[in-house]
Amino acid sequence: MDLFKVHSIENAKKRILEVFSDLKIETEKIAIMESLNRISAQIVKSKINVPHFNRSTVDGYAVISGDVQGTSESMPMMLDIIGESEMGKENSCEILNGQCIYVPTGGMLPKGADSVVMIEYTEIFSEKSIAIYKPVARKENTMSIGDDVLVDQEVMEKNEVIRSKDIGVLASIGVKEIEVYKKPEVVLISTGDEIVEDIDNLQIGKILDINTYTIANLLKASGAIAMKTYVVKDEYNQLKEIITKSMTEADLVIVSGGSSMGEKDNTAKIFDKVGDIGVFIHGISIKPGKPTIVARGDNVPLIGLPGQPVSAMIVYRVIVDFLLQNVFKTIGLVEKKEKRILDRNVFASPGKDTYLMMRHYEEDGNLFITPVYGKSGMINLIAASTGYIIVNEDLEGYRKGEMVDFYYFI
């Protein structure tokens, strides 16, 4: 246990990657329709050519390009219309020199044709005869077999986020299922002698549990699952029992509360007992959020978050979401960020990344943010802020009027 060294965020992330580098992440095969925002665990290669027949990319007349060379507005070429290609149907026509057929966009080219003249550059003279006013090059306005996707061509890499457009690409080559990383299942334990789950138990001295609700929903947004939640007293044996049991069921165990170094803080002590490696980070250089624990219990990462709700949410963003993305291959939080103008000076503690809660507003077309202050743990601090800014550890703050990156809460 490495209790007294506070880790920089960068160093903490590096240690997390090292310590969990051998963790085996499970995969599963799922329907592509359900694969949005999952991460591919396989390369996908096409089993078909796209298109699998020669097709026109415009509405027009399929011709032999040599027939219409040298044509112009004043020197059209007359061709015989010998048929029509119907949308969605095989076309068994064959054209010879001096002949053409009508083809709609996406329609199949007849044998013999090597190009299509757009309908705009033609004029029908009779049922059987058409004037062509513009030459075409070989292959012009057509797509040949495999022009778009060839058999065995790679259409999706491994370890990529699957977007809606990727699902469209997979559908276009007839792939119905894809191997992705499983969503990590997380047990969430909210601990503290004063915390209760239900308003009926809200005796004097107690407060209602918040972290289970915020963290479970942040997990959902990161692409993980809060499979089980507990609210327990900060009592060594009971907490140890639940953590030990959770390690056999979950991919990740998160405890909020009891993460400081006081006499009554049991989280780190238990994390150190239950696994081979135990605690390897206790304390990170972030404000609020310093009392953060990262440990390894056999094959399960264990994380201790500060009990104070704002701190827990910030450490979630910085540490838990990082672990989920990089170790468990989830999409992670997609935070909306924009530059906004600070409406007053703000100060921070040098040597720590300081997270300041902010509220955004607009005035005279300008995008402002204003700091929201409140005693640690106040509901109003959470309720009144809509996002946050980060003051880097080497800065002392920002001045009124500066443009700062503002992150909206998820």
Residue 148 found at the interface with its own copies (CB under 8 A): yes
Residue 89 found at the interface with its own copies (CB under 8 A): yes
Q: Which is nearer to its own copies, 50 or 130 (CB)?
A: 50
Element (H, E) at 311: helix 309-315
Residue 286 found at the interface with its own copies (CB under 8 A): no
One-letter amino acid for residue 251 of the chain: D
In this chain, which stretch among 147-155, 179-187, 237-245, 359-367 interacts with its own copies, using CB under 8 A?
147-155
Alpha-carbon dihedral 336, 339, 342, 346, rounded to 10 degrees: 70
Residue 213 found at the interface with its own copies (CB under 8 A): yes
Residue 378 found at the interface with its own copies (CB under 8 A): yes
Contact of 25 with 128, CB cutoff 8 Å: no
Residue 41 found at the interface with its own copies (CB under 8 A): no
In this chain, which stretch among 122-130, 281-289, 369-377, 394-402 interacts with its own copies, using CB under 8 A?
369-377
In this chain, which stretch among 169-177, 343-351, 359-367, 399-407 interacts with its own copies, using CB under 8 A?
169-177
DSSP string for 18-87 = HHTTTPPPPEEEEEGGG-TT-BB-S-EE-SS-BSSS-EESSSEEEE-GGGGTT--SSS-EEEEEEEEPPT
In this chain, which stretch among 126-134, 214-222, 342-350, 364-372 interacts with its own copies, using CB under 8 A?
214-222
Among 336, 344, 399, 400, binds its own copies (CB under 8 A): 336
Output the smallest distance, CB 184 to its own copies, in A.
Answer: 18
In this chain, which stretch among 4-12, 14-22, 159-167, 278-286 interacts with its own copies, using CB under 8 A?
159-167
Burial class (CB in 10 A: 0-12, 13-18, 19+), 131: middle
Output the smallest distance, CB 308 to its own copies, in A.
Answer: 9
Count of residues engaged in binding its own copies, rule: CB under 8 A: 77
Output the smallest distance, CB 403 to its own copies, in A.
Answer: 13
Residue 221 found at the interface with its own copies (CB under 8 A): yes
Cis before 76? omega within 30: no
Output the smallest distance, CB 23 to its own copies, in A.
Answer: 26
Q: Reduced to 3 states, what is the DSSP secondary structure of residue 161?
A: strand
Sign of the CA dihedral 258, 261, 263, 268?
A: positive
In this chain, which stretch among 16-24, 164-172, 177-185, 286-294 interacts with its own copies, using CB under 8 A?
164-172
Output the smallest distance, CB 335 to its own copies, in A.
Answer: 9
Residue 395 found at the interface with its own copies (CB under 8 A): no
Among 3, 17, 171, 261, binds its own copies (CB under 8 A): 171
Residue 33 found at the interface with its own copies (CB under 8 A): yes
Angle made by CA atoms 242, 243, 249, in degrees to the nearest 5? 90
Closest to 76 measured CA to CA, from 124, 115, 112, 113: 124
Q: Which is nearer to its own copies, 6 or 143 (CB)?
A: 143
Name residue, tokens 């949410």.
Answer: 313
Residue 152 found at the interface with its own copies (CB under 8 A): no
One-letter amino acid for residue 255 of the chain: V
Residue 166 found at the interface with its own copies (CB under 8 A): yes
Where in 188-207 is the site for its own copies (CB under 8 A)? Answer: 192-195, 198-199, 202-207
Whole-angstrom Cα distance, residue 248 to residue 298? Answer: 10
Beta bridge partners of 293: 282, 304
Residue 362 found at the interface with its own copies (CB under 8 A): no
* DSSP H stretches of helix in 163-307: 164-172, 211-222, 236-249, 267-274
